[in-house]
Structure 1
Amino acid sequence: MMRRPLALLLSLVLAFPVHALDLPDLGDVAASELSPAAERSIGEQIIREIRRDAAYLDDPEIEEYVGRLGHRLAAASGSPAQGVDFFVVRDATLNAFALPGGYIGIHTGLLLAAQSESELASVLGHEIAHVTQRHIAQIVGKQSQSAMLMVASLLVAVLAARSNSQVSEAAIAAGQAGAIQSQLGYTRAFEREADRVGLETLEAAGFDVRGMPGFFERLQRAIRVYENNAPAYLRTHPLTTERIADMENRVASMRYRQVPDSPGFAYARAKLRAGNGSATDAVRELEDQVARHAQDPALTYGLARALLRAGRAEEAAQRLEAARTLAEPSPWLETLAGEIRLARGEGAAAIRGLEAARERFPDSRSLIYALAEARIVGGEPAQAERELRQTVARRSDDARLWRLLSRANAALGQRTAQHRAQAELYLLQGSLPAAIEQLEIARRAGDGDFYAQSAVDARLRELQQRLREERRERLH
């Protein structure tokens, strides 16, 4: 399956021009490292393409969990000021990868394969080290500008292949998005440095450092099982016996620490299991797991989720109550409770429950989305609109907030506001022409007051000017 991956990828580039990414002027990267600003700009373009792809896991709870874990590690690293962002890709293979600009992705398969939170943290710590040590920038600094442009186009081409049967075989052969790192060619020295810095970060963040060699040893054993079809992580991060031995030697000199997993680790994995395969198969698998581990609240929560997915809301509610008796209060449980109540047509109860949950867990971003959804569906779109407008004023880069705000406006019949919010959503997704089209629709709607119409006109002129400038840059 890995035959001629580079040739296949190169053929994709011919059909997917570099200028589609609107990449910045990188300067003379052959003479120096890629600048942080240019690297970030490239990463932003790539991540927009990823977030439009069907494989991107648009799950606020799991993304929030991975993000909290990752930012805890980043804060403990030697470069806490280095910006990092985390996302999850729906893919059963074991892989994680760092993109230009500090964007770090993990596959759902890796999250499910990790046997402890410290193991998962060890992989994230390794990827964070690639970012903080600026390995991608150093590699690009030794190559030409066209090399980096090719890497960016290759990644987007691979993602495009998912929805195009004519190129899907090439995408698979390339190991999907994460395998682009093999084109960047992490050197053994970079891998050893990422191991060393990652271990130091793991220890500083309070995790069990044994998680790193333990996880990598298991990956190495998988080589014999997979033979030529090794896990994707091993194809993008070459693993040697010397690397594992070096990890073990470093761990031997570190303080022993037994660290329990956080509830979020178990809930995230249970939610992924509840969404795997068909709903019937997910229910069957989790029923079997719960039968063998009756006191595990996360598995019981997962079963409740699978039952809801299968349309069995009453049984889901019963399982959720069983999970509540086994666990401490958690936003994971409250979000599911709201979904079950909405499925049962209990909009008011869902809203009241989620309001109480927001009071109890004010730092949970997922509960903000869940409460807004409940208000829109449960008959309180005006309150949803007020709260979302206040929140989006503080977090204007949150695409989910703009999507919900557009829906709340639509429920209220406010077409100008609806299309203005939709324009901001498209802009965050990297579709400038679509954003302009939405603003033109908003201007024609004519149901906004003078200030709303003026804001639409000003934003439309701004984006039209930006589009003209981008088109001029492409011609030069």
Structure 2
Amino acid sequence: MKPIYMIVCALFLSPLALADGLPELGDSSATVLSPLQEQKIADQIMRQVMASDDVVSDAEVNDYVQNLGYRLASHGPDPHQQFNFFVVKDNTINAFAMPGGVVGVHTGLIIAADTESEVAGVLGHEIGHVVQHHLARMLAQQKIDSVVSMATMALALLAAVGNPQLGGGAMMTASANAIQKQLDYTRDHEREADRVGLQIMTDSGFDPHGMPAFFEVLQKGTRFVQGTAPSFLRTHPLTTERITDVRGRVEQMSSFKLVEDSQEFYYVRAKLLADLGTPTQAVDSFRNNLQEKKYTNEAGQHYGLAIALMRKRDFTGAAKELDWLKMNAPVHAMIANLAANIAVAQNKPEQAEKAFITGLAIFPNHRALIYGYAEHLLALNQVDNALKLISDKQSSFPDDPYFYELISKAYTMQGKVLLRHQAQGEAYVRRYHIPKAIEQMDLAAKATDGDFYQHSIVEARLSQLRQLVDDPKKPK
């Protein structure tokens, strides 16, 4: 991920920083930041997130976390609150919430969780921080009254609440450090987020015991040694009293409907574990777990071993694990995608084609299968078939930038300049990068190919995007 200070610089050198109507942060009202201001901040953060190499791009991991987050948020107290969930490639145990409903989850947190309810408990907690506007309350208490000091506050806020290791470097001044110490969530904030999160996860069908169970794991792992605590605990103070309070709330619940951990949880967790260490170390770890029966979910271990063997380029071994999964595990989209990827890796295009078609027939909206099949078709120079596939599926994912990037690649292969730049421009819109979108649309407008109708569409979109820069309140 890009350093946090770059996020802040982008934020406060943008039109947002110069906008009228900045909140009077000395006012202790509950809504210090207006919804529009929060959304502006969220858009700037997401622009950095989408451009970062340290954010997980794997469609299956992202879809799992996003679907889990949206499921929880749908049972929250504010149905109008928008959320963006993403996963950070970081083995530390952490999750964090930002203004505008931006919620990040470290891969280390998913790996450390034994059950899906433990992950749901942390996500529910972060959603609780968002819907209770805790960051806005902290900003109010600082009584910031200038753009410069507000920028310093945001630097400290993002460094403290986001990823401490990515914080401001040389730009993290003594003033920012002093403010950062005041930005950690208070015990009252934590209790409130626990209460809201507990209700959210219970209403969503998860085991509420997962929240205190994971907190206990975190507490036991810290040993209270300075500098060794999980990142989550540096901004989320955890005490024995707090864990006891959460356990007490759980015990007072008269009844709750529980849903078993999804198989997807075990596959995603195994997929992340398979990416740790060297390929040989990952393979040995899964084989050892299977041999000694050190697992909660056997299918998850075989799936992880297959992914690790793919990393090791042992495609024959991966195919053997796939055979076990087909014989012993329920039909699942991630297994279907694994089958297609193994066939592609083995350079068996006909087998891969069959695997993609079979998988999409059962799981028509599995994003990884759609991506993979489109890439496979483009690799075979079947450009028209790739474009038809994307056209058929795109309506289900209107905000997905990668669909537009695939379209742009296809039109590049066909030598269609206007359509290539138009598609790339739409991709940048969905990556929250309006200036680059305008640049691409301008190139499309200047293209010498394309008919009158296509040029009219591009000109209209270009005008709309330029107005968006002038008036960010306009819809994208």
Q: Structure 1 residues 265, 144: CA separation in 2 closer, same or farther (over 3 Å shift)?
A: same
State the distance in 1 between where 2:261 and 2:186 align.
Answer: 32
Q: 1:119 maps to what in 2?
A: 118
1:105 maps to 104
What SS does the aligned partner of 2:331 have? coil
Backbone CA RMSD of aligned residues? 3.3
- 1:382-393 matches, within 5 Å, as 382-392=384-394
2:12 to 19, 40, 47: 19
Name the amino acid aligned to 2:302. T
CA contact (8 A) 2:159 2:166 kept: no
Q: Which residue does the alignment assign to 1:281?
A: 281
How far apart, in 2, do the equivalents of 1:240 and 1:111 lie? 22
Partner of 2:23: 28
Aligned to 1:405: 407
* Map of 1:424 onto structure 2: 426
1:448 paired to 2:444 = no
- Aligned residue for 1:105, secondary structure, equals strand
Partner of 2:320: 318
Separation in 1 of the partners of 2:58 and 2:366? 14
How far apart, CA to CA, are the structure 2 residues paired with 1:455 and 1:407?
20
Q: Retained in 1: the 8 A contact 2:356–2:369?
A: yes
TM-score, normalized by length of structure 1?
A: 0.85
Amino acid at match of 2:98: L
> How far did residue 61 of structure 1 move?
0.5
**Contact persistence 1:191–1:237 (CA under 8 A):** yes
> Equivalences for 1:53-452 in 2 at 5 Å?
53-142=52-141, 143-144=143-144, 146=147, 148-153=150-155, 167=169, 184-224=183-223, 226-254=225-253, 255=255, 259-293=259-293, 296-392=298-394, 395-452=397-454
Number of aligned residues? 454
Q: Deviations over 1:187-233 (max 9, x none)?
A: 22111111111111121111111111111111111221644421110
Structure 1 unaligned runs (5+)? Answer: 1-7, 471-476
Indicate if the aligned counterparts of 1:275 and 1:306 stay in contact, CA closer than 8 A: yes
List per-residue Cα deviations over 1:156-204 (Å, max 9, x = no partner): 789999899x949979xx99xxxx9866332221111111111111211
> Is the 2:156–2:180 contact (alpha carbons within 8 Å) kept by the matching residues of 1?
no
Indicate if the aligned counterparts of 2:365 and 2:396 stay in contact, CA closer than 8 A.
no
The 8 Å contact of residues 125 and 199 in structure 1, kept in 2 or not, is answered as: yes
- For residues 161 and 197 of structure 1, what CA distance do their matches in structure 2 show? 25
Pick closer, same or farther for the CA change 1:182–1:216 going to 2, 3 Å: farther
Alignment CA distance shift 1:385-1:271 (3 Å): same
Uncovered stretches (5+) of structure 2, i.e. residues with no partner: none
Q: CA deviation at 1:285?
A: 2.2
What SS does structure 2 have at the residue aligned with 1:184?
A: coil
1:275 partner SS: coil
2:100 alignment partner, SS class: coil
* Larger deviation, residues 61-70 vs 222-231: 222-231
State the alpha-carbon separation in 1 of the partners of residues 15 and 438 from structure 2. Answer: 17
* Structure 2 Cα separation of the partners of residues 148 and 128 of structure 1: 24
Residues in 1 aligned to 2:166 and 2:137: alpha-carbon distance in whole angstroms:
33
Q: 1:464 offset after TM fit, Å?
A: 4.3
TM-score (norm 2): 0.85
Q: Would you say the 8 A contact 2:86–2:103 is kept in 1?
A: yes
For 1:38, what is the secondary structure of its paired residue? helix
Of 446, 459, 462, 1:460 maps to 462
**Aligned-partner SS, 2:97:** strand
1:21-79: CA deviation from partner (whole Å, max 9, x where unpaired): 44365533433421122212211211211221121111110111111111221122233
Distance 1:26 1:40, change over 3 A: farther
User: Helix, strand or coil for the counterpart of 1:81?
Assistant: coil
Instruction: Give the distance between the partners of 1:214 and 1:343, measured in 2 at CA.
Output: 41
* Counterpart residue identity of residue 261, structure 2: D
State the SS of the aligned residue for 1:328. coil
- Specify the SS of the correspondent of 2:54: coil
> Is 2:58 the counterpart of 1:49?
no
CA–CA distance in structure 1, aligned partners of residues 325 and 181 of structure 2: 43
Asked if the contact 1:92–1:109 (Cα under 8 Å) also holds between the matched residues in 2, the reply is yes
Number of the residue aligned with 1:5: none
DSSP 3-state at the match of 1:94: coil
Amino acid aligned to 2:55: Y
Q: For the residues of structure 2 that align with 1:210 and 1:266, how far apart are their CA atoms?
A: 19
- Kept after mapping to 1: 8 A contact 2:156/2:183: no
Does the CA-based 8 Å contact 1:13-1:157 persist in structure 2?
no
Aligned mates of 2:21, 2:286 — CA distance in 1:
50
Separation (CA, whole Å) in 1 of partners of 2:118 and 2:197: 12
How far the C-alpha of 1:152 sits from its partner, in A, is 4.0
Alpha-carbon distance in 2 for matches of 1:401, 1:59? 14
What SS is found at the alignment partner of 1:410?
helix
Q: Which moved more, 1:397-406 or 1:113-122?
A: 397-406
Whether the 8 Å contact between 2:8 and 2:155 is mirrored in structure 1 is no
Q: Distance between the aligned counterparts of 2:155 and 2:288, measured in 1?
A: 45
Asked if structure 1 preserves the Cα contact closer than 8 Å seen for 2:365 and 2:393, the reply is: no
Give me the identity figure in percent.
39
Q: Who is 2:38 aligned against?
A: 39
Q: Verify the 8 A CA contact 1:97 1:181 in the aligned structure 2.
A: no
Letter of the 1:231 counterpart: P
Tell me the alpha carbon deviations over residues 380-424 of structure 1, each in whole angstroms, 9 at most, x when there is no partner. 321221232354456432112112221222233323212211122
How many Å separate the matches in 2 of 1:135 and 1:370? 41
